[in-house]
Amino acid sequence: MLTDTAIRRAKNAEKPQKLADAAGLYLLLPSLPSEGKWWRFDYRFAGKRKTLSMGVYPAVTLREARDKRDKARALLREGADPGATRKAAKGALVAAHANTFAAVRDEWSEMQAKTMSPVTVTKSAWLFDFASDLDDRPIADIKPAEVLAVLRAVESKGRHETAHRVKQRLGQVFRYAVATGRAERDPTADLRGALAPIPSKSHAAIIDPGKIRGLLLSMDGYDGEPLTRAALQLSALTFQRPGNIRAMEWSEIDFDAAEWRIPAEKMKMKDAHVVPLSEQAIAILREIQPLSARSRYVFPSLRSADRCLSENTLNAALRRLGYSKDEMTAHGFRATASSRLNEMGWNTDVIERQLAHAERNKVRAVYNRAQYMAERQKMMQAWADYLDALKAGSNVTLIGKRAG
């Protein structure tokens, strides 16, 4: 049997030589000293002679080499091939590193980005940041308790709605992992009821005509960035979602047809949406065009023309005007218009179509494929005229025709 002293004294010869230990273990000395001394284990499996490498001396000591040999012999007694077992273990380790949560998440995100709006892509990445503790974990090994710990950390900061949204996004990634063979199940399914419920609330909005007048006059007098003021004004005139307002692009504006054509990938329901533009809306766009014409966005970020206004810009502008989050929000312009237009007698279907709300009745959805464009054009101009009349102090009470 070998000893450490014998190994240290062994000299390289013109040809490679074997220094035998016992039970198939030996040290292979190459002809060149620079090539190192390799531990080898010879064995037979299924009638074939095989060799297993066990590392380089002295990084792997004599004792460690013997331990590896003994483990290999134990596998042979159990009817397993040590070489194949090592190869399978190495493959599993490589697969585990390739299938970490971060790797699967990025793959899922890249696929979803093809149908998500840019705003949603950014929001999705922001939600995943809360779960960064899971990034390096093999996705198949992640347990419900680990996910719950991530969500509890979000909840501890008072962000209950965000915790629910993070859970939803994580669940989508886990279900994708299951569908693609990287995990057995979705651990978020075991967390139903584990998070505090979200109190239902609606977006704060002003619906009283007198207060609407005050809001419009305040926006006209906004002394901040001109583009921010214009974004607020167009929010009131078009009552589209704040994310769509902020991400509006010049290529989507058809001045000749007086239309804003929002592509499907930017819409919440993934259906292309056309917004008829009133004369007042067109005038605002013409006025600000010189300010942002070099950007693809109508309302570029103040920091970079390659990005649109940030998510909080419009709400921050409303706060600057003196309106609290319980009085008015950027999303509230939709409720303001919906409430007043319904009270004034406009066809509910026309209003809902203009709000880009999905038709729950699929038969009606097909029947209404014409999208009431003529009525919507008339309504949007009448709405803009109504807002002008309010600012002028006129007592306008009816601008629509009540549907029979």
Closest CA to 235 of 289, 287, 275, 295: 275
Closest CA to 42 of 55, 30, 53: 53
- Burial (0-12, 13-18, 19+ Cβ within 10 Å), 146: middle
CB-CB contact of 125 with 109 (8 Å): yes
To the query of whether residue 26 is one of the catalytic residues in this protein, the response is: no
Which of 40, 268, 378, 401 is catalytic? The answer is 268
Give the residue ranges of DSSP H helices in 241-358: 242-246, 279-292, 313-320, 332-343, 348-354
Which of 68, 229, 273, 331 is catalytic? The answer is 331
Eight-state DSSP code of residue 249: B
- Burial (0-12, 13-18, 19+ Cβ within 10 Å), 49: exposed
Which of 182, 229, 334, 353 is catalytic? The answer is 334
- Residues forming a β-bridge with 28: 18, 38
CB-CB contact of 69 with 41 (8 Å): yes
User: CA torsion, points 205, 211, 214, 220, in degrees to nearest 10?
Assistant: 30
- Residues forming a β-bridge with 117: none
State the Cα–Cα distance between residues 248 and 266, nearest whole angstrom.
10
Which of 241, 266, 340, 353 is catalytic? The answer is 241
State the Cα–Cα distance between residues 242 and 224, nearest whole angstrom.
18
To the query of whether residue 268 is one of the catalytic residues in this protein, the response is: yes
SS3 226: helix
> What Rg value do the Cα atoms of the chain yield, rounded?
34
Eight-state DSSP code of residue 182: S
State the Cα–Cα distance between residues 23 and 68, nearest whole angstrom.
12
Place of tokens 């979602």: 241
To the query of whether residue 105 is one of the catalytic residues in this protein, the response is: no
To the query of whether residue 367 is one of the catalytic residues in this protein, the response is: yes
CB-CB contact of 24 with 69 (8 Å): yes
Which of 97, 357, 364, 402 is catalytic? The answer is 357
Q: Which residues are catalytic?
A: 241, 268, 331, 334, 357, 367
